[in-house]
Amino acid sequence: MAWTTFQIIVACVMLITGSLNTLIAKWTDMQVAKGRDDVAREFNHPFVQSCAMFLGEFLCLLVFGAAWLIGRRRTAGTEGDVPLVRLEGQIQEPFTYKKMLVFLPPALCDMTATSIMYVGLTMTNASSFQMLRGAVIVFTALLSVAFLHRQIASSKWLGILTVIIGLAIVGVSDMIFLPNDAKSNDKNRIITGDLLIIMAQIVSAAQMVYEEKFLTKYDVPALVAVGLEGFFGFTVLAFLLIPMAYMPAGSFSVTPYHTIEDAIDAFAQMRNNYYIVLGLCGTILSIAFFNYAGISVTKELNATTRMVIDSMRTLIIWAASLGLKWQPFNWMQIIGFGFLLIGMAVYNQIITTDKIRHVQRTVVTKIWRNNGDREVLVREDEAS
């Protein structure tokens, strides 16, 4: 079935904004500006960047609110006084505070995972960051077996094993392909960043398992789910920035007073370098459009197509990082990405044994027919 114009647009928007989200975040980390102590340094404020990301998710709730108002005005006078909202093919009921609070645990998981990943992004390459996020499949499957009592098919275990091999190749390549003038501290920093990104996927997997176990029972539009998680995540993390400014982190932190986070220093750097403000605004808008486009792709097409598009942005981020000379060429990453892509395809049943057998039969049949046609032509030539 051919894609409609709208489906092509939302797929392209998802691919572009998803790629831009990681690239903009890394570009923002590389900006240099004077902080509150008048010392110029790179913008290393992952928790502030996480707040920007949650603000972008919260925008999805505002979009839903606007759609709700438009739908209410259109249905006024035609369906009585009950403000029914038709969005995403469903009739939604008004939310209660009790229902809203079920989004708090996944928001806390999202807040933790995103913050850890942004810390890791400051230490490693953007391409490695995106590839290592594929580890979420492994941990989601393991937690699904433990808490959802799900039976994982042998083919999916094969996909998980392939993903693990790809992750190992990507991690090893980061340690091997370092510049000749790189110090041992640089290697330790990259290893730490990669490990933090993988650890964050454990929290992300816990979020997915929770959402599947507790949130699927509620008839909640996807835009509302994303928006509420963004609201809770932004609210909680914004309050946590206050104690973080007084909690020491030692040499691990590069803030003026070596604390976990320093929002005042972040705002000082924003004031001294407007490119940082531009980068944070880009993060907010890209994550908002990415979530909306991803929801639309799942609705208009299917979740498998969304996974394929999400995998493609890894290749775009890797190519862009090379083009911008943010990292040297690393041929092992191509192999690692290939294993990750195949593992995801096998896990999501895009590649199955039945499909492989079908392709084999098709190829053999075509070869047989071509050979048979050649034999007929040879016999006709000999007869003539």
- H/E run at residue 264: helix 263-272
Q: What is the structure's pLDDT at 356?
A: 62
- The arithmetic mean of pLDDT across residues 352-375, rounded, is 63
Name the least confident of 35-49, 74-88, 176-190, 313-327.
74-88
Q: Which residue reads 């509302």 in tokens?
A: 224
Kindly tell me if the per-residue pLDDT of 109 is higher than 80. yes
pLDDT tens-digit map of 144-153: 888 888 888 8
pLDDT tens-digit map of 254-302: 899 999 999 999 999 999 999 999 999 999 999 999 988 888 887 787 7
Largest CA distance in the chain: 95
Contacts of 170 (CB under 8 A, 6+ apart): 128, 131, 132, 194, 332, 333, 336, 337, 340
Nearest to 266 by CA among 48, 64, 59: 48
Name the least confident of 45-59, 299-313, 353-367.
353-367
Report the percentage of the chain scoring pLDDT > 70.
82
What CA–CA distance (Å, rounded) separates 212 from 227? 17
Asked if 309 and 15 touch (Cβ cutoff 8 Å), the reply is yes
Q: How many CB atoms lie within 10 A of CB 236?
A: 14
Kindly tell me if the per-residue pLDDT of 177 is higher than 80. no
- The arithmetic mean of pLDDT across residues 173-197, rounded, is 76
Nearest to 328 by CA among 314, 318, 342: 318
- The arithmetic mean of pLDDT across residues 187-195, rounded, is 87
- The arithmetic mean of pLDDT across residues 218-235, rounded, is 86
* Confidence (pTM): 0.81
- The arithmetic mean of pLDDT across residues 230-252, rounded, is 92
Q: What is the structure's pLDDT at 347?
A: 85
Q: How many CB atoms lie within 10 A of CB 272?
A: 15
First to last CA, the chain: 47
pLDDT, the chain, mean: 83
Nearest to 228 by CA among 95, 118, 91: 95
Kindly tell me if the per-residue pLDDT of 366 is higher than 70. no
Please, which pLDDT band fits residue 357 given cuts at 50, 70 and 90? low
Query: What single letter denotes the amino acid at residue 367?
Result: I
Q: What is the structure's pLDDT at 83?
A: 36
- The arithmetic mean of pLDDT across residues 82-96, rounded, is 43
Report the percentage of the chain scoring pLDDT > 90.
43
pLDDT tens-digit map of 3-25: 888 888 989 999 999 999 999 99
- The arithmetic mean of pLDDT across residues 26-55, rounded, is 95
- The arithmetic mean of pLDDT across residues 350-356, rounded, is 68
Q: What is the structure's pLDDT at 369?
A: 65
